[in-house]
Structure 1
Amino acid sequence: MAHTHDHGSQGHDRSHGAGHVHGSTDKKRVLVAACLTAGFMVVEALGGLFTGSLALLADAGHMLADCIALGLAWYAFHLAGRPATVRLTYGFGRVKTLVAYTNGIAIFAIALWIIYEAWERLLTPAPVLGGPMLVVAIAGLLVNIGCFFVLHGGDRDSLNMRGAILHVLGDLLGSAAAIIAALIILATGWMPIDPILSVLVSLLILSTAWSLMREAAHVLLEGVPASLDRDLIARDIEGTVNGVREVHHMHVWSLDGSSNMATLHACLNDGVDAHKAVSAIKKRLAAAHGIAHATVEPEYGHCADSHDKHDGEHDHALDAAPHHRHHH
């Protein structure tokens, strides 16, 4: 049976257009945040060295990683705007997800380093200049709040944008912790508060970084998006599209965490017009499930792949997995 593949639906064009607008504004937002972060990172690092504050140095370390991460996020948006090539037929959209995953790993590494440094500082306490530390920390907080609001207006469905926001949120928490530590040091002279608050901020960031990495990995592994249920979608097509007897060999995934795609075999009743059935399936997928890009293979009688032993074993393995059962 011929493989029918239609990309020209209006829904797909609308989706692509909206994504392009988001990507353009998000790219500018990330660049502004990167410049603000880079500028203040130098100030905070010098302030940390001058005052002896681990909280400030930890936050400067965050900001250094964030400069790199925001730069990567900007470049990912830049690449995503490029057209597809003969070798990269889907274009560069998934680079954004790859960068989001890399950002999660980077946040993990920084947080673990800060925890190690804090432990060393608790074993051998060092004096901290509370006054200058407070001034630098307040300035850092203002810069990070500015960066956060610049990014917060972007597309929250984009894993790349969420990764960028997470980095800035970590900086914001770090600055807030440094302010609290400076106030306590000025009021009581208790130096251990500096490394203790650094560890608390790191633990908060670790949990969020893990969530980001898990979602990005799910996209890279082409898992079914959390908002969709493949089995329910297959049953919906069987129940709503005239002439469709059965849907099987169905795969649903996301290219970049926001653009959903699907491939499936549609077994049609005898006499049903294949072109009309495929068109109706695509319209249903776009309208009811937000899947604007679909490849549908119409079939009559037995599945064209049913003779392939390897393919059958593959299906059986997927059938055994919870929530990922094929329809036959």
Structure 2
Amino acid sequence: MENTPTQIQTPSAASRHKKNLLIVLCLSGTYLIAEVIGGIVTNSLALLADAAHMLTDVVGLLLAFIAIKIGERKADPSRTYGYYRTEILAAVINAVVLLGISIYVLFEAYQRFQNPPEVQSKSMLIVAGIGLLVNIVGMMILRKDSEGSLNMKGAYFEVLSDMLTSVGVMIAGVIMLTTGWYYADPLISAAIGLLIFPRTWRLLKEAINVLLEGTPKDVDIHGLRQSLEKIPGVKNIHDLHVWSLTSSVNAMSAHVVKDTGVQQNQLLKTLTETTVNNFKISHTTFQIEEEGYEENEVHL
């Protein structure tokens, strides 16, 4: 029996995007100050709700940036896989905060439905328009980065949801400016809260799946097992596990029962090439066994 690890060092996808994240963080932080002032001056719940959301964006973007910095640390004896998972923890925190903000906005909207106050809609429109431009720029910067990292996807969703709130605030401003119907402010705020919820919930589920070491959604574990068992010299595969260290960095381990007389090194090479080339898995560990050995093992 031999336990043979094969490692391919794959950097976290998000580590390549610190500069873009920092740019968006600075843009969002600057606009946050302006929006808080604008919300107080205009007495708009929609603007203040957006400002509260923008505050979580800024905190979330900062967490994402810090997570990338920590995630770049090399593996050590106490963290043998490195610090990749800090990105996933940041994604979870972002998602939980966003869900909390959604619930808060819905509650505040309900309160204002009881007695909608007068809102300075013209000033509100100007502030929201600036916010829309800031968020569009932020989305353009982060869009490509979000495809390879849950952490960056969380940051992108922060900016996307804030862009939606800016659009909603502008719609409310136009309605109030042209009709004087101040129910538009809490109504649009409630719609914003409902729009944020489903995307954030999906992000949270993805991040929790990584923390629970669930099978990555882009890996067909049944197809992987079948491909490995078709390799000449392989009798069967058992104790097959596939998980993600972080976004785009998948790992696996498996016990391989080989035919008698099969050259072990060549078999190991074929197993590794099949896994890495066909199944988006970066780190593989195969334990090669003779038939009958598995009877003495504890199986997970």
Is the structural similarity TM-score above 0.5? yes
Aligned to 2:42: 51
SS in 2 for 1:3: strand
TM-score normalised by length of structure 2? 0.97
**Over 6 Å off, 4+ runs:** none
Question: In the alignment, which of 144, 167, 184 is matched to residue 176 of structure 1?
Answer: 167
Counting aligned pairs with the same residue, the percent is 36
> Which letter does structure 2 place at the counterpart of 1:52?
N
Which residue is equivalent to 1:319? none
Deviation of 1:307 (Å): 3.0
Aligned to 1:113: 104
Partner of 1:276: 266
SS state of the match for residue 274, structure 2? Answer: helix
Other-structure match for 1:27: 18
Which of 71, 91, 108 pairs up with 2:82? 91
1:122 to 89, 113, 123: 113
Q: 2:293, 2:192 → 1: CA distance? A: 55
Return the letter of the residue paired with 1:73. A
**What letter corresponds to residue 287 of structure 1 in structure 2?**
N
Residues 216, 4 of structure 1: CA spacing in aligned structure 2 closer, same or farther, 3 A cutoff? same
The aligned amino acid for 1:283 is E
User: 2: distance between equivalents of 1:292 and 1:114?
Assistant: 42
How far 1:261 sits from its partner (Å)? 0.8
- Further displaced range: 184-193 or 155-164: 155-164
Contact kept, 8 Å, 2:95 with 2:204, in 1: the verdict is yes
Relative to structure 1, the CA distance from residue 218 to residue 24 in structure 2 (aligned partners, 3 Å threshold; closer, same or farther) is: closer
Normalised to the residue count of structure 1, the TM-score between the two structures is 0.89
Letter in 1 for 2:216: P
1:1-328 correspondence to structure 2 within 5 Å: 1-7=1-7, 12-13=8-9, 16=10, 19=11, 22-239=13-230, 241-304=231-294, 306-308=295-297, 311-312=298-299, 314=300
Aligned mates of 2:256, 2:159 — CA distance in 1: 46
Decide whether the 8 Å contact of 1:181 with 1:194 is kept in 2: yes
Cα distance in 1 between the residues matched to 2:123 and 2:6: 63
Q: Please tell me whether the aligned partners of residues 219 and 280 of structure 2 are also in contact (alpha carbons under 8 angstroms).
A: no
Aligned pairs, number: 300
Kept after mapping to 2: 8 A contact 1:131/1:182: yes
Q: Structure 1 residues 155 and 129 mapped into 2: Cα distance closer, same or farther (>3 Å)?
A: closer
Once the two structures are superposed, what CA deviation does each residue of 1:185-204 show, in whole Å capped at 9, x if it has no partner?
01000001011111111111
Cα distance in 2 for partners of 1:23, 1:104 equals 17
Structure 1 CA distance for aligned equivalents of residues 285 and 293 of structure 2:
16
The residue identity in structure 2 corresponding to 1:280 is T
Quote the offset at 1:284 in angstroms. Answer: 0.7
| Unaligned segments of structure 1, at least 5 residues | 315-328
- Deviation track 1:226-258 (CA, whole Å, cap 9, x = no partner) reads 12222221111111x221111111001111131
1:276 counterpart letter in structure 2: Q
Query: The residue matched to 1:63 in structure 2 has which SS?
Result: helix
Aligned-partner Cα distance in 1 for 2:22–2:148: 19
Greater mean alpha carbon deviation, residues 273-282 or residues 54-63: 273-282
CA distance in 1, matches of 2:237, 2:296: 18
